[in-house]
Amino acid sequence: MRPINGDDVIAAVEGSTAVLGTAVERDWKGVRAGRLEWSCRETADHIVTAFMGYASRLAVGAQDWLLFDVTVDEDAHNAAVLDVIRSTGALLAAVVRTTPRGVRAVHPYPFGSADREGFAAMGVAEVLLHTHDIAEGLGLAYEPAEELAEAVLTWLFPHVQPGPAPWPTLLWATGRGELPGRAPVTEWRWQNNLVIPAERLALVGVRPAAARDLRLGGDGGFEWLEGGPFEGTRVASTYMMKAYESGVHRPEFGVFALVRHEDGRAIGGMGFHGVPDEEGRVEVGYDLVEGARGQGYATEALRMLTEWALARDDVDTVFATIEGDNLPSQRVVSRAGFTRATVEEERAAQEENGADSDLQLHIRRR
């Protein structure tokens, strides 16, 4: 898998300016941009503001908003505005290319930050969607490259079920179009991935684009410790993609890569087998690359993920099912605060799920 990057920002800008460049002599200030309240000119200015904001925050890994303003001269010709879009787009692309893996900077929705891929995807989204708005206002035909629209969906819209084609799906997901069989969208947000920090590692939410690559035998865009990713992570990614493709995936209850702080390497995977049920129960699973075992990483990650889940209103119980002869995994859950379920609870769980009678049920409650 090639993660979304600065080249995609440049490609999006080139496609945008090629179309809008055919209408630079038109009145952009007096024409509304599609369904927006902004004029076409205000919308073009917004692209510049977004590029500068994303680039400046990512460049320094800012954890707070940078207090500055960027404006395009009110009297600037439309052609000059496109030049500024090109230049600020190139700036964002350069920052994305040079920012180290794992650096995150502030972005409000929904989890407070984004990494370089997130900022690249947001930049591409700004260009694609607002070029559509301007083109619609000016009566121009515009459709971006399919791979760009698909990249935005798989990096920023993990909660949106894929449609028959990426571009109409993206327009529908952002309230700009219709899809047969789906209700109109009136409110929307894109979603950067969740990262849960622990002492020696971070649990980094795996996006659909990365899960697809892991399912197909790739690295998911992570730098793995030798021997990784382990088979359990690939299987979990397969189930996650099935949930995504069927429209029931919730990113916060997906798969996480365990990434060490000391070297930025992924050493395993951990995550949930689905969303909480009606009684607030959710199952967790995990694996580690062999070279990372026996060092307490799984315990540390499981403790953090479980505490994160139990702090939510929709989770009352986190449980894990473990084979009776898997003593190392049993020790992990025990150190993470889980207790063995009663015989009755285990028997009920086995009957409910058709599970092997050799499986043990371990539980941690709120």
Asked whether the beta carbons of 131 and 142 are under 8 A apart, the reply is: yes
Mean pLDDT of 323-343: 94
Q: What pLDDT was estimated at residue 345?
A: 82
Cβ neighbors of 34 (< 8 A, separation 6 or more) are 132, 133, 134, 135, 136, 137, 176
Separation between Cα atoms, residue 229 and residue 217, nearest integer Å: 9
Separation between Cα atoms, residue 302 and residue 310, nearest integer Å: 12
Helix (H) or strand (E) holding 156: helix 146-156
Mean pLDDT of 92-111: 95
Separation between Cα atoms, residue 83 and residue 304, nearest integer Å: 47
Residue 181 confidence (pLDDT) above 70: yes
The DSSP output letter for 302 is H
Residue 362 confidence (pLDDT) above 80: yes
For 221-266, what is each residue's pLDDT tens digit?
999 999 989 999 999 999 999 999 999 999 999 999 999 999 999 9
Mean pLDDT of 335-348: 90
Asked whether the beta carbons of 40 and 33 are under 8 A apart, the reply is: yes
What is the β-pairing status of strands 281-288 and 359-365?
unpaired
Confidence class of residue 1 from pLDDT cuts 50, 70 and 90? low
Q: What pLDDT was estimated at residue 51?
A: 98
Q: What pLDDT was estimated at residue 357?
A: 66
Torsion over CA: 3, 151, 35, 32 (sign): positive
Phi/psi at 281 (nearest 5 deg)? Answer: -100, 140
How many residues are there in the chain?
366
Q: What pLDDT was estimated at residue 347?
A: 81
Q: What pLDDT was estimated at residue 2?
A: 81
Burial zone of 146 (CB within 10 Å; 0-12 exposed, 13-18 middle, 19+ buried): exposed
For 137-153, what is each residue's pLDDT tens digit?
999 999 999 999 999 99
Separation between Cα atoms, residue 231 and residue 215, nearest integer Å: 10
Mean of the per-residue pLDDT values of the chain: 95
> What percent of the chain lies above the pLDDT cut of 70?
98
The strand pairing partners of 106, in sequence order, are: 113
The vertex-91 CA angle with 64 and 176, nearest 5°, equals 80
Confidence class of residue 166 from pLDDT cuts 50, 70 and 90? very high
For residue 320, give the 3-state DSSP assignment.
Answer: strand
| Exposure of 332 in the CB half-sphere (CA atoms within 13 A) | 28
Domains of the chain, each with CATH number or no CATH? 6-173 (1.20.120.450), 195-365 (3.40.630.30)
Q: What pLDDT was estimated at residue 348?
A: 77
Q: What pLDDT was estimated at residue 355?
A: 59
Asked whether the beta carbons of 317 and 306 are under 8 A apart, the reply is: no
Confidence class of residue 353 from pLDDT cuts 50, 70 and 90? low
- Both ends of the chain: CA-CA distance in Å? 39
Confidence class of residue 135 from pLDDT cuts 50, 70 and 90? very high
**Mean pLDDT lowest among 65-69, 93-97, 154-158, 164-168:** 65-69
CA distances from 266 to 98, 99, 152, 218, 255 (A): 20, 18, 24, 13, 13
